[in-house]
């Protein structure tokens, strides 16, 4: 027997996704204060994506008639030792979230909740992209560590993480 129900575990993940969103706002504010607007914009957008993930999970729980808990907001870091630190934080964070998503997927299997397993599939794919995205950005900021304007140019040129809309994405609460 699983230790917790899938809806309880997904409610915890909603809290994790909102926390990730807040953390990315913190990183964006740091870069904005350093006058690195492209890095700031990158993290402001990532923050919105994490909020979107939380809202997809909210919509799923609504759809299957399970209770939804909206978590408290914890304060997040807005100062970092150097310009690489927020991206290192982000890569760690995305790896941790991947593990959380895999655990949710496993739980869905264990309790034979096929709807839940299907729902989690999109997030498995999403985490592959997010870990790769943050890994690429870490390479770039490490290479630009003496002049982060090079990383700014890279973001302006390559628009990392700016994908067009994904028709396979689960619906998010409050949209459509």
Residue among 112 and 168 whose Cβ is closer to Fe ion: 168
In angstroms, what is the minimal distance from the CB of 21 to Fe ion? 8
Residue among 101 and 140 whose Cβ is closer to Fe ion: 101
Residue among 48 and 149 whose Cβ is closer to Fe ion: 48
Using CB atoms within 10 Å of the CB of residue 118, give its burial: 0 to 12 exposed, 13 to 18 middle, 19+ buried: exposed
In angstroms, what is the minimal distance from the CB of 17 to Fe ion? 5
In angstroms, what is the minimal distance from the CB of 2 to Fe ion? 23
Residue among 17 and 113 whose Cβ is closer to Fe ion: 17
In angstroms, what is the minimal distance from the CB of 4 to Fe ion? 20
Residue among 69 and 145 whose Cβ is closer to Fe ion: 69
In angstroms, what is the minimal distance from the CB of 60 to Fe ion? 14
- Indicate the residue whose CB is closest to Fe ion: 53
- Secondary structure of 106-138 in the HEC alphabet? HHHHHCCCHHHHHHHHHHHHHHHHHHHHHHHHH
Which helix (H) or strand (E) segment holds residue 31: the answer is helix 6-33
151 in Cβ contact with 144 (< 8 Å): yes
Which residues form the interface with Fe ion (CB under 5 A)?
17, 50, 53, 130
């Amino acid at each position: 027997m699983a230790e917790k129900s899938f809806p309880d575990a997904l409610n915890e993940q909603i809290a994790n996704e909102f926390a990730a969103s807040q953390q990315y706002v913190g990183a964006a504010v740091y870069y904005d204060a350093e006058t690195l607007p492209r890095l700031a914009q990158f993290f402001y957008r990532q923050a919105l994506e994490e909020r979107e993930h939380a809202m997809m999970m909210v919509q799923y729980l609504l759809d299957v008639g399970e209770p939804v808990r909206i978590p408290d907001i914890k304060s997040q870091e807005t100062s970092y030792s150097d310009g690489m630190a927020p991206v290192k934080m982000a890569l760690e964070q995305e790896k941790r979230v991947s593990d959380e998503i895999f655990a949710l997927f496993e739980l869905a299997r264990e309790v034979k909740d096929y709807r839940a397993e299907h729902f989690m599939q999109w997030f498995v794919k999403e985490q592959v992209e997010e870990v790769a995205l943050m890994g690429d950005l870490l390479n770039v900021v490490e290479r630009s560590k003496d002049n982060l304007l090079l990383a700014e140019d890279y973001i302006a040129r390559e628009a990392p993480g700016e994908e067009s809309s994904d028709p396979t994405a689960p619906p998010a609460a409050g949209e459509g």
